[in-house]
Amino acid sequence: MMIEGLYNLPVALMTLAIFAATYVVAAGIYWAVTRLAMGDRARAFKALSPGMLPPLGIIFGLLVAFVAAQVWSDFDRARVAVASEASALRGVVLLASNFPGDEEARLRALVGRHIDAAVREEWPAMAGQHAFLTTPSAPLVEALQRTLALTPITEGQKIAQREIVGALQNALDGRRQRIIISQSTVNGVKWMGLLLQALCALIAIALVHSDNRLACAIALTLFSTGVALSVLLIASHNRLFTGDISIGPEILVQVMPEAVTPDAKP
């Protein structure tokens, strides 16, 4: 629950929470190591080679890159999925004008219902990772069925019918993709590995510099700042559809702004 609350914080508060927690851990390590660095323990601490610090830092950097690569990839895929869905729906709205007034109005209404449901119901569900493919988009399915049941008269209507069917299929695929991607997250094992490696590096830094308290404090502050920044960048982008840095439904609303109820507009 604490992690869920962190994801929903504004970026400023998330930054404050992550940096504060990291500095508290670093301060605890500094206090423990400097208190223990006496007598035989001090000599044992100094026996540790400074050469172990670069490998620890490199491993931490590789873990950050590994986790961040997943987050950036998911973010880009989600953005493309939403854009593809919006583009397909816009195509349906434009092509619907090739058919008589009632059919055009019906197709536009169904597209509008889908957009309204996406904004009011699906986006909050995706933000909480509660959206599932078992619930189809009834308006888009109905629009596809009605389009297939049309009897085009002119050659232009035949082409429009074919294009609308393709656009609706693309919209359904875009919706499927964004729902699937909304389930993606940095799992607990990856977080544990990343944070444990950071903890090991901080302890090693404190041990190597245990005979010089000022140098120890400076080194711990610098590395803990890098750790906090890395965690912030990953955490702020980890949930794709919630938080300040997220993908909203604005581009869908732009397709038919009048279709979305005022209290549901982002």
Same domain, 169 and 230: no
Domain limits for position 254: 74-185+247-260
Same domain, 126 and 84: yes
Same domain, 127 and 35: no
| Tokens standing for residue 213 | 């308290």
Mean pLDDT over the full length of the chain: 89
- What would the pLDDT profile of 51-98 be if each residue is shown by its tens digit? 889 999 999 999 999 999 999 999 999 999 999 999 999 999 999 888
Q: Which residues of 27-46 are buried (b: 16+ CB within 10 A; e: fewer)?
A: eebbeebbeebeeeeeeebe
Amino acid at 87: S
Contact 52, 204 (CB under 8 A): yes
Same domain, 149 and 98: yes
Residue 260 has pLDDT above 80, yes or no: no
The whole-number pLDDT of residue 1 equals: 47
Q: What percent of the chain has pLDDT over 90?
A: 59
Closest CA relative to residue 182, chosen from 125, 136, 121: 125
Same domain, 118 and 31: no
Neighbours of 91 (CB within 10 A): 18
| Mean pLDDT to the nearest integer, 215-243 | 92
Give the pLDDT band (50/70/90) at residue 173. Answer: very high
Residue 8 has pLDDT above 80, yes or no: no
Same domain, 93 and 156: yes
Contact 48, 208 (CB under 8 A): yes
CA distance 222 to 239: 28
CA distance 266 to 264: 6
Q: Give the number of domains in the chain.
A: 2
